[in-house]
Each structure stands twice: as structure tokens, then as C-alpha cells.
């Protein structure tokens, strides 16, 4: 006779508590390191999916613990209503969103900020406060310190031209694998210097606090090393927002230390002053975004170059790109206009990439990143305001403010709780950094983690007592019926994990397909993209890419005189693009793709240009200040024989982007074809005087025009 294995209830709940504790340590330690080189987006995408994976595991363990203890284990606090209000604002914004799928998952490849991610962060908060004990926080803090140390050691070699990522990916210990100038501004496993800086400045105050408290020499030395290495990595990011955030956080922490110690313990204040002096010394040696490094000061240099975009997409913009603060101001103006159109609940969670372009300021045409897609407002508060409206912003500020207020109030009443000001200082640093940027997966994990830590750090909380009440009979075993529920929980968790993996796998196949197609392996490329669609049939981007690939192949087959195959591929291209637009009718890029497809297919059938015109006109209704749309529309109109309209459209393109070199060249050509040499000369002269003074091609064309105007005859040049 087969009997069931007897499982002791007390032993099982102890095991589950340990697993929850270990899993949280893994979450805080590992999340910063997660990145892949096989996906569309190397950093945030995989980090977010990892958080989903951990959240599912923790929810499963929490459910099994409640089943084991036969009670609801849910730590309530005074902040629940603020959390509920914030969540409600995101749910309502999603319901009324321009595109609900985007609001649910977040903008594709980022995902952070979507309603699903918010649900995950809130779930992590409740699992934490309901299962972690106050005496376990020390280990979690040290997981954060170890993570900061390892990430910083990963980042520092990049400053000296050696990226560990390049060695992992390409087996070359240099920085040649990155398009970004990682040697100038390091980013380690975060993908962006400001994101790395936001992570470090959130932890540094807690690091300093533990260093001041620690009594063992070996532990103090370790914490000092963590601090020095973290500050060095922060300085190598050259992040202005990071340095401002750290200054704000440490300023708050210093005030709290004075309130704690006053005249009773000057030694601790002197130690803090010494740490600040050490940080200042490192800043002097290495330099900051505001001050040159010591060697440059000794050479007489007293200023630093402004923080600029690391891209250099066109020859029209000065080398180095537009200062980031100028770009931010423009995007912020657009974000406020979006809010004015959607004042209450916003345009929808994470729909900024769709709503911004209708209100995109004309000035955006004049920055170095003028033709980039912006899916964030580059200001966390304006991001909430545009996406979730006044309700979303106020609920976010209320949540943040309530946590901060009650924690600080508790600190003033119980000044021995020194971790509280350190955590609050980290939150302030993060808040300031996000004001000039936006939250990431890591900072949101930290933020909701800090919320939970504050709850547990409060002396008056009954969290520990709550977790220990209703003691379980140490001799009691699980009942027969319960043996069937645990596997069910595990099956549900595995099912959800498989869904998360399926999202990653779809993106992996899509990226693999793109790369194969670009390399000329068309069959492999198409096969992988089609497989990605099967994995994620609602992802519009996959159809859009497939449509573009079909259009490209259609031209290739036509050139090989395979007219039947070319016609079939042309129709397939049109169909796939239409599917993309049906799935997401508010994404500007899909209409640009549609126009591009019809322009390509116009080589086979001139009737396609009329459809290209319609696509561009639709795109212009979504982005009326995008100069490139008018430029392409002008070329299409010219092909269709609408000469006057094409010239007027091209003139409008340069009126909203006066440094548009390519458009001015095309406009000059149009004037020449129309016989207006004087206007053609004006365009060439403007280009040489204002945009590209060393362009030899324009100089030659100008000579020809001037010679024609003076009656001379010169040979034509290309």
C-alpha cells in the first residue's frame, strides 16, 4: 500500500520563508547585471522580464506559505490607500489609453512603466513587507552593496578602453563593440550612463550610513572600498543628474545626522565630513560634469564641455550633438502640450511615443536627435503628467510624499533609527535624477524596495510580531487535500514563467531574423521573423518589419525578372504593413514604413506612389512638425508630376528646419529643373554659409549656377 509522504507544516513554512528571503536577495543583487546581446534592446527588456520571473516565483512562494499556515499573510500599513490610488490611476489611464496593449505591457522593448510592470512592483512590495523580517534587512542591504561594487568594477575599466561586455560578446577586451562612446561615459550593464548613475546614487547614502555604524575594522574596510569604487564609477558616468541627485541626497542625510547626534556625538559628524571630503577629493582628481579633472586644472583649464548627445547622425548638426539640457527643454514643452490635450487621465500609460509627435515643438527639428523616436518625456513627473494626466501625477507624488513624510516623522520621534534617513536620502537622490530623466527597471525595483524597507524599519510597526503570531503546531503535517494544491500553484507559476520566456523568445527570434536578413540570408531572416509572429501574434512591430523585408525582396525578384514572385511579395508587403497598422493605428513609424514600402514598390508600379502620398499625409496628421515627412512627400509629389506642390512642400520642410541640408539641395535641384537659377543659387549659398561650408559638391553646383547666370558655359558636374 502506497502512503503519502508526511510533510511537517512548521518545517515547510520555515523553508518557504527562507526561499522568499533568498529570492529577494537575488532580485536586488542580480537585476542590475541582467542584459543580453541577442535582443532588440539589450538592457531594460531583459531586466524587466527577469523582474517578472522573480515576481512570479515570489508570489508562488507567498501563496504556498499562506496555504501552509492556513491564514492570509498580508502586512497592512497606512500607505495602502496611497498605493491603491496610484494603481487606480494607472488602471484608468490604461482603460482610456490611445493604445491599450502599449499601456499594458509598456512601450515595446522597454516594458518598464507599463501597467503590468507597476503591478509587479506593487506585488513585490507586498511580498516583501509581509514576509521579510526587520532583522533580515541587513543581509539585503549587503546584497545591494555587493551589487553596486561589482557593477562599479564592471564600469571602471570602460573608462580606460576595456569593456567587459565586449569581451563577453566579441571576445575583445576593448570598447569597439559599442556604438556609444562608453569610454567617455561609462554605463556597464545599464546601457546608459544616467541609468547607472541613478542606481549608484540611490545606494551610496545607505553605504555611507552603514560605514558610519560599523564597528568591525574588516567590515568598515569593505564598506569603504564599496563607497570609493561606487563614487569612481559615478564620476566616470559624467552624469549631471546623478551628481545633482547625490548632492541632494547627501545634503539631506547630513542634516539628519546633525539632528541625530547634535553636540552629543561630534565624532560621527566629523567622520561624515571626512567621507564628504573624500568624495570631493575623488571628484577633484577625476573631474565632474561641472568641473575639469585635476590634471586639466593644472594645465589652466577651468571649464568643461556641456553634456551632449553621443550620436552624430547627420552632417547638418555640429559635431558632438546638441546639449542634452536643450533637448530636454524642448521635449518638456511637448509633454506639457500633451497633458493639455489629455488633462485628467493622460494619453495612456507609456503612450508618449504616440502622443508627443502631434505636439512636438518645431524647435525639435534643430537638435541633433531631431529624427529620433522619443518614448519618454525625459522627466519622470512630466512623463506621468502626459501619460496619466493630473490624476496620475498627483497620485504618484502623494505616494512618494506620504512615504517620505511618515518616515521622516517617525525618524524625528525615534532618532536611533538611522537607516531611515539613509533610505530617504537614496530616494531623494533617485527623485532628483529622475526629474532630469526617467525611471528604469532597477530604480523602480529599488524604489518599491525602499518603500517596503521603510515600513519594516519603523520601530512602532508590528510587522515582526505579525509574522510570528498564530504559531503553528510543530507536530502538525499537511492534510491530504493540500498535497494537490501545491502542485497546482507550481503549475500556474510555471505556466506564467513560460509566457514570460515566450516574450523573450519572440524578441530573440525577431532580432535574429533582422540580423540574418540584413546579412543577406533572406530565407533564415524571414523564417525567424515569421516564427516570432507565431510566438507573439499581437506585436505590431514584427508585422511592420516583415512588410519592409517583403518589399525589399519584391524589388530584388523584379530585378531578376521574376515578375510573379515579385508581385506576390509586393502584395505580402502591403498586407503585413496593414496588419501592423491595424494592431497599432497610432504609431507614427508604421505609417513611415507604409510610405517607404509604397515608394519602393513604385519602382514596379507607378500607381503605388499615390498610396505613398496618402501614407505620408496620414503620418503628417500624427506629426505635423516632422520636417522629414514633408521632405519625402515633396519627392513623391515630384515623381507624380505635381511639380508646384512638390516645391511648396519642400519649401515648407526647410521653413521648419532651416539647417536641413539634404532638403535644401533637393529644393535647389527642383528650382533648376523649373528654370529658376536665382532661387537655386540662394539655396546653395545658404547651405555653404550656414550649414556645410566645406561641402565640395555644393561648391561645384554653385559654380555651375553662377556661371549659367553670368552667361558662361561650364561642363556639368554630378
Three-state SS sequence of 54-118: HHHHHHHHHHHHHHHHCCCCCCCCCCHHHHHHHHHHHHHHHHCCCCHHHHHHCCCCCCCCCHHHH
The span from the CA of 375 to the CA of 355, in Å, is: 9
Q: Which residues of 92-104 are buried (b: 16+ CB within 10 A; e: fewer)?
A: bbbebbbbebbbb
On the question of pLDDT at 459 being above 80, the answer is no
Residue 264, pLDDT score: 59
What is the architecture of the domain spanning 526-709?
A: Alpha Horseshoe (1.25)
Name the DSSP letter for residue 624: T
Q: Across-strand partners of 312?
A: none
Domain regions of the chain by residue span: 9-468, 526-709
Closest CA to 455 of 119, 132, 54, 16: 132
> What is the C-alpha separation between 357 and 373, in angstroms, rounded?
9
Q: How far apart are CA 621 and CA 357, in angstroms?
A: 9
Number of residues in the chain: 718
The pLDDT assigned to 479 comes to 74
Residues above pLDDT 70, as percent of the chain: 91
Buried b (16+ CB within 10 A) or exposed e, 601-625: bbebeeebbebbbebbebbbebbeb
pLDDT in tens, 606-621: 999 999 999 999 999 9
Does 464 have pLDDT greater than 70? no
Predicted local confidence at residue 608, as pLDDT? 96
With 80 as the cut, is the pLDDT of residue 480 above it?
A: no
- Tell me the pLDDT tens digit for each residue of 555-602: 999 999 999 999 999 999 999 999 999 999 999 999 999 999 999 999
With cut-offs at 50, 70 and 90, classify the pLDDT of residue 333: very high
Give, in order, the Cα–Cα distances in Å from 444 to each of 112, 117, 202, 380: 9, 9, 11, 12
pLDDT band at 653 (very low <50, low <70, confident <90, very high): very high
**What pLDDT, on a 0 to 100 scale, did the predictor assign at position 432?**
96
Span 623-633, pLDDT tens digits? 999 999 999 99
What residues pair up with 308 in beta bridges, in sequence order? 323
pLDDT given at position 647: 97
In the predicted model, what is the mean pLDDT of residues 349-365?
Answer: 96
pLDDT tens for 267-322 read 777 888 888 899 989 988 988 888 777 766 766 665 665 555 543 333 233 334 78
Q: What is the DSSP letter of 323?
A: B
DSSP 491-550: HHHHHHHHHHHHHHHHHHHHHHHHHHHHTT-HHHHHHHHHHHHHH-TT-HHHHHHHHHHH
- Provide CB contacts within 8 A for 657, sequence distance 6+: 365, 366, 370, 627, 663
Q: Is 254 helix (H, G, I), strand (E, B) or coil?
A: helix
Per the CB < 8 A criterion, the answer to whether 107 and 353 are in contact is: yes
Q: What's the rounded mean pLDDT across residues 656-664?
A: 96
Task: Report pLDDT for 319.
Answer: 36
Please check whether residue 143 is in contact with residue 28, taking contact to mean a CB–CB distance below 8 angstroms: yes
Rounded distance, CA 657 to CA 367, Å? Answer: 10
Q: Which of 698, 621, 605, 34 is nearest to 316 (CA)?
A: 698
- Type and span of the H or E element at 420: helix 419-435
Residue 434: predicted pLDDT: 95
Nearest to 250 by CA among 110, 66, 425, 104: 425
CB atoms within 10 A of CB 148: 25
What angle do helix axes 677-686 and 661-673 make, rounded to 10 degrees? 170
What is the Cα–Cα distance from 651 to 663, expressed in whole angstroms? 8
H helices present in 98-216, as ranges: 100-105, 115-131, 137-159, 164-170, 193-213
- What's the pLDDT tens digit per position in 413-451? 776 656 899 999 999 999 999 999 999 999 999 999 999
Average pLDDT over residues 329-354: 96
pLDDT in tens, 3-53: 456 778 888 999 999 999 999 999 999 999 999 999 999 999 999 999 999
pLDDT of residue 718: 47
The packing angle between helices 217-237 and 137-159, to 10°, is 50
What does the alpha-carbon distance between residue 95 and residue 453 come to, in Å, rounded to a whole number?
A: 32
Question: Backbone dihedral region of 373: left (phi > 0), alpha (psi from -120 to 50 degrees) or beta?
Answer: beta
pLDDT at 204 over 70: yes
Q: What is the mean pLDDT of residues 107-122?
A: 95
Q: Which class for 716: exposed (0-12), middle (13-18), buried (19 or more C-beta within 10 A)?
A: exposed
**Closest CA relative to residue 165, chosen from 184, 145, 190, 147:** 190
- In Å, how far are 7, 69, 71, 485 from 479, measured between CA atoms? 9, 12, 15, 11
Question: What's the mean per-residue pLDDT of the chain?
Answer: 90
Which candidate, 136, 172, 191, 180, places its Cα nearest to that of 24?
136
Residue 715 clears pLDDT 50, i.e. is over it: no
Which pLDDT does position 462 carry in this prediction? Answer: 47
Q: Convert the pLDDT of each residue in 142-182 to its tens digit.
A: 999 999 999 999 999 999 999 999 999 888 999 988 888 89
Q: What angle do CA 219, 225, 228 make, to 5 degrees?
A: 140
Amino acid at each position: 500500500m502506497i502512503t503519502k509522504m508526511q510533510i511537517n507544516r512548521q518545517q515547510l513554512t520555515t523553508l518557504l520563508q527562507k526561499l522568499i528571503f533568498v529570492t529577494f536577495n537575488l532580485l536586488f543583487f542580480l537585476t542590475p547585471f541582467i542584459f543580453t546581446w541577442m535582443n532588440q534592446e539589450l538592457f531594460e527588456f531583459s531586466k524587466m522580464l527577469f523582474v517578472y520571473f522573480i515576481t512570479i516565483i515570489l508570489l508562488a512562494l507567498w501563496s504556498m506559505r499562506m496555504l501552509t499556515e492556513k491564514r492570509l499573510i498580508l502586512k497592512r500599513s497606512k500607505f495602502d490607500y496611497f498605493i491603491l490610488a496610484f494603481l487606480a490611476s494607472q488602471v484608468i489611464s490604461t482603460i482610456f489609453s490611445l493604445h491599450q496593449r502599449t499601456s499594458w505591457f509598456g512601450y515595446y522593448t522597454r516594458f518598464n512603466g507599463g501597467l503590468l510592470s507597476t503591478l509587479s512592483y506593487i506585488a513585490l512590495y507586498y511580498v516583501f513587507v509581509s514576509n521579510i523580517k526587520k532583522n533580515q534587512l541587513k543581509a539585503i542591504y549587503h546584497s545591494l552593496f555587493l551589487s553596486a561594487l561589482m557593477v562599479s568594477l564592471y564600469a571602471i575599466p570602460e573608462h580606460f578602453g576595456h569593456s567587459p561586455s565586449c569581451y563577453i560578446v566579441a571576445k575583445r577586451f576593448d570598447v569597439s563593440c559599442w556604438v556609444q562612446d562608453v569610454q567617455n561615459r561609462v554605463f556597464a550593464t545599464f546601457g546608459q550612463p544616467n541609468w547607472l548613475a541613478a542606481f549608484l546614487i540611490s545606494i551610496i547614502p545607505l553605504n555611507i550610513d552603514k560605514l558610519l555604524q560599523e564597528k568591525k575594522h574588516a567590515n568598515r574596510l569593505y564598506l569603504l572600498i564599496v563607497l570609493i569604487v561606487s563614487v569612481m564609477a559615478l564620476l566616470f558616468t559624467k552624469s549631471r543628474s546623478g551628481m545633482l541627485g547625490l548632492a541632494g541626497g547627501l545634503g539631506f542625510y547630513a542634516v539628519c545626522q546633525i539632528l541625530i547626534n547634535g553636540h552629543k556625538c561630534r565624532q560621527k559628524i566629523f567622520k561624515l565630513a571626512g567621507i564628504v571630503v573624500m568624495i570631493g577629493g575623488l571628484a577633484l582628481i577625476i573631474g565632474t560634469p561641472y568641473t575639469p579633472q585635476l590634471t586639466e586644472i593644472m594645465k589652466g583649464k577651468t571649464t568643461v564641455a556641456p553634456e551632449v548627445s553621443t550620436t552624430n547622425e547627420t552632417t547638418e548638426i555640429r559635431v558632438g550633438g546638441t546639449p542634452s539640457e536643450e533637448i530636454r527643454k524642448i521635449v518638456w514643452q511637448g509633454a506639457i502640450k500633451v497633458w493639455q490635450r489629455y488633462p485628467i487621465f493622460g494619453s495612456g500609460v507609456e503612450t508618449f511615443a504616440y502622443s508627443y509627435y502631434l505636439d512636438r515643438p518645431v524647435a525639435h527639428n534643430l537638435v541633433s536627435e531631431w529624427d529620433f523616436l522619443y518614448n519618454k518625456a525625459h522627466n519622470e513627473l512630466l512623463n506621468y503628467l502626459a501619460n496619466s494626466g493630473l490624476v496620475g501625477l498627483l497620485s504618484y507624488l502623494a505616494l512618494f510624499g506620504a512615504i517620505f513624510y511618515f518616515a521622516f516623522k517617525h525618524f524625528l520621534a525615534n532618532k536611533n533609527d538611522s537607516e531611515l534617513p539613509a533610505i530617504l536620502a537614496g530616494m531623494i537622490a533617485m527623485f532628483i535624477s529622475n526629474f532630469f530623466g526617467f525611471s528604469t527597471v532597477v530604480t523602480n525595483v529599488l524604489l518599491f524596495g525602499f518603500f517596503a524597507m521603510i515600513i519594516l524599519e519603523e520601530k512602532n510597526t508590528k510587522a515582526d510580531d505579525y509574522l510570528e503570531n498564530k504559531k503553528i503546531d510543530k507536530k502538525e503535517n499537511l492534510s491530504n487535500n493540500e498535497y494537490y494544491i501545491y502542485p497546482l500553484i507550481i503549475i500556474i507559476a510555471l505556466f506564467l514563467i513560460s509566457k514570460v520566456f515566450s516574450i523573450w523568445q519572440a524578441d530573440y527570434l525577431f532580432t535574429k531574423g533582422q540580423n540574418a536578413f540584413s546579412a543577406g540570408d533572406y530565407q533564415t531572416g524571414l523564417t525567424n521573423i515569421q516564427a516570432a509572429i507565431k510566438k507573439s501574434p499581437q506585436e505590431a512591430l514584427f508585422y511592420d518589419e516583415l512588410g519592409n523585408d517583403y518589399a525589399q525582396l519584391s524589388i530584388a525578384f523584379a530585378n531578376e525578372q521574376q515578375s510573379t514572385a515579385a508581385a506576390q511579395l509586393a502584395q505580402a508587403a502591403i498586407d503585413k504593413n496593414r496588419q501592423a497598422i491595424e494592431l497599432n493605428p497610432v504609431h507614427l513609424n508604421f505609417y513611415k514604413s507604409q510610405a517607404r514600402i509604397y515608394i519602393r514598390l513604385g519602382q514596379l508600379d507607378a500607381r503605388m506612389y499615390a498610396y505613398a502620398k496618402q501614407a505620408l499625409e496620414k503620418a503628417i496628421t500624427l506629426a505635423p512638425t516632422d520636417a522629414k515627412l514633408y521632405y519625402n512627400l515633396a519627392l513623391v509629389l515630384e515623381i507624380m508630376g505635381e511639380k508646384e506642390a512638390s516645391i511648396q512642400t519642400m519649401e515648407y520642410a526647410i521653413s521648419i528646419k532651416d539647417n536641413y541640408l539634404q532638403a535644401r539641395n533637393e529644393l535647389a535641384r527642383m528650382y533648376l529643373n523649373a528654370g529658376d537659377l536665382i532661387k537655386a543659387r540662394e539655396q546653395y549659398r545658404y547651405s555653404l554659409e550656414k550649414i556645410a561650408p566645406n561641402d565640395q559638391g555644393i561648391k561645384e553646383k554653385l559654380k555651375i549656377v553662377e556661371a549659367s547666370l553670368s552667361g558662361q558655359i561650364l561642363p556639368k558636374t554630378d
